[in-house]
Amino acid sequence: MTGRLLVAAAMILAFIAAAPVDAAARKKRCAPRRVEPPAVVYRGSGHLISSRQLARLEREYAARWARPMPITARGMSKTHRLLGFDHAGRVDVGLRPASAEGAWLRLWLRKRAIPYIAFRRAVQGQATGPHIHIGPGSGRLAKEVAE
Ligand SMILES: [Zn+2]
């Protein structure tokens, strides 16, 4: 190797050794892809929606969207009983949280501090599909004990 080549090789090695390790970039590459949670919980006042508030909501929804609000469960239902949930006083609305109607409904509830759970997709044992659950989370029904 000529002197000139040696110098060039040494410079290349020095350059490689001195190359800063971009920790942030490496971390970014290794970080798991950001996944949206399947449900967003808004706790609000923690109280159930009153029948008066619900009647008003249904009126305002119908006036705004020119169709009735798609309620899929009002209070306790067979499905909730089978899943073991106490759904009394809670209301399920078959709307995607990100839809225009879903966003309108969530805002309506937030303005009144009415709790809700916005399900973006089905959650095993909790939701059969996307919907907005109005009210605090459903407690588990006490298991009946056969004696
Ligand atoms: Zn529900």
Domain boundaries, the chain: 39-140
Q: Which residue has the higher pLDDT, 81 or 104?
A: 104
Distance 96 CA to ligand 1 centre (A): 14
Distance 33 CA to ligand 1 centre (A): 29
Distance 125 CA to ligand 1 centre (A): 12
For residue 16, the model assigns a pLDDT of 47
Amino acid identity of residue 55, one-letter, is A
The β-bridge relationship of strands 139-140 and 85-86 is antiparallel
Tokens of 71: 């309620």
Distance 48 CA to ligand 1 centre (A): 12
Q: Rg for the chain (alpha carbons), in Å?
A: 27
Work out the average pLDDT over 124-137. 92
For residue 99, the model assigns a pLDDT of 98
Q: Give the mean pLDDT of the chain.
A: 84
| Predicted model pTM | 0.72
Least confident of 22-26, 59-63, 84-88, 91-95: 22-26
For residue 126, the model assigns a pLDDT of 83
Distance 121 CA to ligand 1 centre (A): 13
Distance 79 CA to ligand 1 centre (A): 10
Distance 36 CA to ligand 1 centre (A): 20
Distance 119 CA to ligand 1 centre (A): 10
